[in-house]
């Protein structure tokens, strides 16, 4: 009876969510339909999916604003008109793209993130609902929806598999279509059904039930997550002290961890903001300043790197999030927990800043990389006014800077303002001809080369009985049996054996070709230089390296793909 009541309650909640967010449902259902059509036709739905998801969030925000502020139907209509115009403007901006490129993907993720945070923050604006209560209700709704959706998907998949196996053969795409419906339509609507109305007309009992911290979550926060955060923070602080003492301000080891650390600490802080136990109180009093200290260190460290290597959009977001974390740490320390909504306010503002035409991630990154490129070319004597002078006799460091900047600007489609480049410049096909070099070694502590065989000429394979494709990874310790052939790798040595007839030392090949001073370090080299023959009276082996990448110091690493031709005498 309890199960029946629970099921009826959930279905009733979803029906109420459909009535509450009809426009969002229409956008999600349309997105699911577009994805399903793309699955059947094996096409890429591209920016249409992003546009529909963005529109769904716009209408979600419109409804949330309506519940918080709308006193008349006219106000509600205005909110929805603004949402529709915003969705239409977004589609107009991205519709000419053939796919989701780096710029479109990152900017869209930033905007959708801003809308998602705004959905949580809006009910608490101007003394509305408690932000911490809204956050807890959304947090619980997300995980509850994920759990139920995973169970439903698993059950449906088992039923489909049983029908396919026992009754009638089904189209294999049915699994994908089912997953799309559950992920794109069912799960979001189930989540929304679990978030109560926090504006006028709110049901106090539903709000309390939705925002109460479950006992298991309270225990997990107080006795597991908070202690782990304390220990992890101590490790980071010790690392910071060690780095400062060693003068290594440009050490970016922490850069990849900072965002996840700050998000985790902020999440734990907000979730524990309504707990009254000793662990939660001590955490809330001390951790905002510790968060600010860790973020400030990384902000300074990343800034040092920016002065030498410039900004790319990934580093832009590290800097932006560093500033955000420092501000949040200071404000959370100074303000009472009832003002935690400032975390969401700043998140929305910073996400919007990151997509602005002048101050956004890609305009700033493009401007920085153009400056780095021009300065490096000028310092290397390769730029006379607006005329590029190809040269190969410059330092490896300058080669790397030039190459990295050009490739990055190409990747984000921002080479149009480089007047010294030809109009039809293709960075991947024309780089060496245009700049006079192709870096094979990269400067710094690690020496790196990569090679690809020139496939414009046919390969000589006559005189051999068999051919095998071999993948080689060093260091490693493994033996791969390939019928007659055996590949043996032990640390940085490798050999290829044809039974007991002949053994080829592969590591010596790489030492001779790729690690010697005679190597030219170019990306594409002739098949003749990538071909090695070994033979005796019993057998013959020819090794053709199709591509290889090698690094030396501080870590040795070789990855290569080979063709092995072989035959035995008699």
Could you tell me if residue 286 is inside a domain?
yes
Domain end (from 324, 355, 386): 355
Residues 153 and 27 in one domain: yes
Let me know if residue 376 belongs to a domain. yes
193, 311: one domain: no
Does the pTM surpass 0.85? The reply is: no
Burial state string for 374-403 with b = 16 or more CB within 10 A and e = fewer than 16: eebbeebebbeeeebeeeeebebebbbbbb
Distance from C-alpha of 152 to C-alpha of 170, rounded to nearest angstrom: 19
Each residue of 363-386: pLDDT tens digit? 999 999 999 999 888 888 888 888
The Cα 425–Cα 420 span in angstroms is 10
User: Domain of 422?
Assistant: 362-435
Q: Are residues 369 and 469 in the same domain?
A: no
277/371 same-domain check: no
Does residue 441 lie in a domain region? no
**How would residue 442 be classed by pLDDT, with cut points 50, 70 and 90?**
very low
Give yes or no: residues 152 and 25 share one domain: yes
Residues 239 and 112 grouped into a single domain? no
Looking at 95-99, 296-300, 456-460, 501-505, which range is the least confident one? 95-99
Is 13 in the same domain as 161?
yes
One domain, residues 56 and 132? yes
- In terms of pLDDT, which residue wins out, 525 or 56? 56
In-domain check, residue 468: yes
Does 256 fall in a domain?
A: yes
Asked if residue 25 has pLDDT above 80, the reply is yes
pLDDT value at position 200?
A: 66
Residue after which a domain boundary falls, among 403, 435, 467: 435
Flag whether 443 is in a domain. no
Mean pLDDT of the chain: 82
Half-sphere exposure of 356 (CA within 13 A, CB side): 10
For residue 442, being part of any structural domain is answered with: no
**Single residue among 308, 324, 355 that ends a domain in this structure:** 355
Q: Which helix (H) or strand (E) holds 35?
A: helix 22-41
455 and 482 housed in the same domain: yes
**Shared domain check, 205 and 219:** no
Strand order across the beta sheet in which 502-505 lies: 476-482, 485-491, 493-498, 502-505
Name, of 49-63, 218-232, 474-488, the range with top average pLDDT.
Answer: 49-63
Q: Is residue 113 part of a domain?
A: yes
Counting the structural domains of the chain, the total is 4
Asked if residues 464 and 542 have their Cβ atoms less than 8 Å apart, the reply is: yes
Pair 29, 145 in one domain: yes
Q: What is the pLDDT of residues 545-564, one digit of tens each?
A: 888 877 654 456 788 888 88
Average pLDDT estimate for 449-470: 79
Q: In the prediction, which pLDDT does 252 show? A: 57
Residues 279, 229 share a domain: yes
Out of 49-53, 114-118, 200-204, 278-282, least confident range: 200-204
């Amino acid at each position: 009876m309890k199960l029946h009541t629970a099921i009826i309650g959930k279905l009733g909640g979803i029906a109420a969510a459909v009535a509450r967010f009809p426009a969002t449902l229409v956008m999600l259902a349309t997105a699911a339909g577009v994805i399903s059509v793309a699955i059947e036709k094996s096409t890429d739905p591209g920016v249409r999916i992003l546009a529909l998801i963005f529109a769904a969030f716009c209408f979600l925000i419109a409804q949330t604003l309506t519940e918080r502020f709308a006193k008349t139907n006219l106000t509600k209509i205005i909110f929805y008109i603004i949402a529709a115009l915003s969705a239409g403007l977004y589609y107009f901006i991205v519709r000419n793209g053939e796919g989701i490129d780096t710029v479109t993907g990152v900017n869209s993720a930033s905007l959708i993130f801003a809308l998602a945070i705004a959905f949580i923050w809006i009910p608490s604006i101007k003394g509305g609902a408690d932000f911490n209560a809204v956050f807890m209700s959304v947090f619980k709704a997300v995980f509850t929806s994920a759990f139920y959706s995973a169970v439903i998907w698993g059950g449906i998949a088992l039923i489909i598999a049983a029908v396919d196996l026992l009754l009638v053969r089904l189209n294999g795409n049915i699994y994908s279509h089912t997953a799309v419906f559950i992920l794109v339509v069912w799960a979001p609507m189930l989540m929304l059904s679990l978030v109560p109305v926090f504006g006028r007309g709110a049901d106090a009992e539903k709000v309390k039930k939705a925002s109460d911290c479950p006992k298991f979550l309270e225990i997990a926060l107080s006795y597991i997550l908070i202690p782990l955060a304390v220990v992890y923070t101590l490790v980071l602080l010790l690392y910071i002290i060690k780095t400062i003492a060693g003068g290594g301000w440009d050490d970016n080891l922490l850069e990849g961890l900072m965002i996840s650390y700050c998000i985790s600490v902020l999440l734990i802080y907000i979730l524990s903001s309504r707990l009254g136990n000793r662990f939660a109180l001590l955490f809330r009093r001390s951790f905002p300043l510790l968060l600010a200290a860790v973020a400030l260190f990384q902000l300074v460290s990343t800034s040092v790197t920016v002065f030498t290597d410039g900004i790319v959009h990934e580093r832009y977001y590290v800097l932006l999030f560093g500033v955000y974390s420092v501000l949040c740490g200071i404000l959370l320390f100074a303000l009472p927990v009832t003002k935690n909504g400032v975390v969401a306010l700043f998140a929305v503002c910073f996400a919007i800043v990151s997509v602005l035409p002048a101050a956004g991630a890609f305009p700033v990154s493009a401007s920085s990389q153009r400056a780095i490129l021009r300065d490096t070319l000028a310092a290397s004597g390769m730029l006379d006014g607006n005329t590029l002078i190809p040269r190969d006799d410059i330092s490896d460091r300058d080669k790397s800077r030039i190459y990295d900047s050009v490739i990055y600007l190409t990747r984000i489609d921002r080479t149009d303002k480089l007047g010294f480049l030809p109009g039809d410049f293709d960075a991947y096909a024309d780089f060496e001809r245009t700049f006079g070099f192709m870096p094979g070694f990269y400067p710094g502590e690690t020496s790196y080369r990569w090679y690809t065989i020139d496939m414009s000429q046919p390969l000589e394979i006559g005189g051999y009985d068999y051919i095998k494709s071999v993948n080689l990874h060093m260091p490693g310790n493994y033996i791969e049996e390939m019928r007659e052939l055996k590949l043996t790798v032990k640390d940085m040595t490798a050999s290829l054996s044809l039974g007991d007839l002949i053994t080829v030392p592969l590591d010596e090949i790489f030492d001779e070709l790729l690690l010697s001073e005679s190597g030219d370090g170019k990306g594409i080299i002739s098949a003749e230089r990538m071909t090695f023959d070994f033979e005796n009276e019993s057998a013959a082996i020819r090794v053709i390296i199709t591509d290889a990448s090698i690094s030396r110091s501080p870590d040795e690493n070789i990855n290569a793909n080979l063709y092995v031709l072989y035959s035995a005498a008699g």
